[in-house]
Amino acid sequence: MNNKVFNTQSAPHIPHTNTVKKIMLLVWLALVPAILAHIYFFGTGIIIQLTISIMFALSFEAMTLKLLNKPIKLFLNDFSAIVTAMLFALCISPIAPWWISLIGMFFAIVVAKHLFGGLGQNIFNPAMVGFAIVLISFPQAMSIWIPPHDISPYALSFLENLQIIFYNQFPSLVSFDTLTQATPLDSIKTALSQEYSISEITAKPLFGNFGGLGWEWIANFYFIGGIFLIYKRVITWRVPAAVILTTLIISLPFNLYNADHFIGPLQHLFSGGLMLAAFFIATDPTTGCSSHKGQIIFGAGVAIMTVLVREFGNFPDGVAFGILIMNMSAPLIDRLTIPKAFGQSDS
C-alpha cells in the first residue's frame, strides 16, 4: 500500500456525463419532426439533400483535419459537422442541384469553420456562411422550389428527384414552369414589386393560413423541436424568446401602417427560415454571445435585420444576413455586457 503511486489528476474527480456528442444528437433529434413534415409536404427531395450534404460535410471535415494534422476520429465523432450539414440542407430547395451542396459545404466546413480555428473557434455560423455564399452566387439555382403537394399538379417520385438533383433532367411529361414555383416570401416580393396588394397575394392557395402552405407546419415543428431543446437545457431560452418577440414588435407597426404592403407579424414568424433560425441557428453558442444580456441583444438584432431585409431589401428572406451580421457583432456585445461579478455591486 505504501509504495503504490496513484493517478494524480485535478478536480473535479467525478465527471459529468454531458458530452458534445450528446448535445449534437439532441439537436439532430429535435430536427426530426420538421424533416418528416418537410418530406410530407415537399416530397423525398430533402432526404437526398440531407444525405449529400452530410456526406460532403464529413468528407471535407476529414480532409481538412488530415491537412491540419488534427486527430480525425476525435473530431468527426463529435457530430458538429453533421448538424451543420443538416441545417444547410433544410435551408436550400429540395431540388437544388448537387453542386450547391458541394460548394455550400466547402465554404461552411473548410472556410467558415476550420480556417477560423475549428470547433468552438469560428466567428460565423458555418451553415449560414455556406448558405449566404450559394445564395448570392447562384440566385437562379436557389430560387427554384416546388409547391407543397396539396396544390402541386405533379408529385415528384424519388427517382425523379434524383434525376433533377444530379442530372438536371426534369420529367419530360411536365413543363418546368408547372413543376417549379417560388417560395411564398419570394412570390410576395415579386408580386409587391408588380404593385399587387398583400391581401390579393395571400388569397392565392400557395399561402395557407399564415406563412405559406406547408411552410407554416414546418415552422411549427421547428418550434416544437426548439422547445424540446430548451427543456433539455441544450439551448438557452433567451435567444429564441428575443427573436420571436422582436419580430412581432418590429413588424407590427409596419403592418398597421400599411397592411397592403407589409405582411403581418404572425406571417413573418411562420414563413421563411425565421423559426429555424430562432431555435437552431441563432442559438449556436460558438457564434453567439456568452452573457445573458448579450444573448437577448443578439436575438433582437437577428430579428430586426431579418424583418428589415424582408420589407425593404432585395432578397426575399433576410435571416442568413441577420445571423451573419450579428455574428460579427457578438464579441463587441460580449465586451459591453460583462456581468457584474459576485461582490462587485458596490464598486
Write out the residues near another protein by the rule CB under 8 A.
1-23, 69-71, 74-75, 78, 80, 118-121, 233, 236, 285-286, 288, 290-292, 334, 338-347
- Nearer of residues 220 and 286 to another protein, judged by Cβ: 286
DSSP string, 87-112: HHHHHS-TT--HHHHHHHHIIIIIII
Contact 225, 279 (CB under 8 A): yes
- Nearer of residues 84 and 271 to another protein, judged by Cβ: 84
Contact 126, 112 (CB under 8 A): yes
- Nearer of residues 255 and 295 to another protein, judged by Cβ: 295
What is the smallest separation between the CB atom of 325 and another protein, expressed in angstroms? 19
- Nearer of residues 146 and 297 to another protein, judged by Cβ: 297
C-alpha distance from residue 281 to each of 1, 27, 79, 215, 278 (Å)? 54, 11, 16, 18, 6
Distance CA 347, CA 342 (A): 11
What is the smallest separation between the CB atom of 52 and another protein, expressed in angstroms? 26
- Nearer of residues 61 and 311 to another protein, judged by Cβ: 61
What is the smallest separation between the CB atom of 134 and another protein, expressed in angstroms? 26
What is the smallest separation between the CB atom of 119 and another protein, expressed in angstroms? 5
Sign of the CA dihedral 119, 303, 329, 103? positive
Query: Distance from CA of residue 166 to its chain's centroid?
Result: 24
Contact 269, 255 (CB under 8 A): no
- Nearer of residues 109 and 201 to another protein, judged by Cβ: 109
What is the smallest separation between the CB atom of 75 and another protein, expressed in angstroms? 8
Exposure string over 200-218, b if 16+ CB within 10 A, otherwise e: ebbeeebbbebbbbbbbbb
- Nearer of residues 15 and 153 to another protein, judged by Cβ: 15
Query: Any idea what the Cα angle at residue 160 is, between residues 157 and 165, rounded to 5°?
Result: 125
What is the smallest separation between the CB atom of 21 and another protein, expressed in angstroms? 7
| Phi, psi (degrees; rounded to nearest 5) at 181 | -155, 155
Residues linked to residue 145 through DSSP beta bridges, in sequence order: 181
- Nearer of residues 21 and 261 to another protein, judged by Cβ: 21
Q: Please write down the HEC assignment for all residues of 270-281.
A: HCCCHHHHHHHH
What is the smallest separation between the CB atom of 55 and another protein, expressed in angstroms? 23
What is the smallest separation between the CB atom of 292 and another protein, expressed in angstroms? 8
Contact 185, 320 (CB under 8 A): no
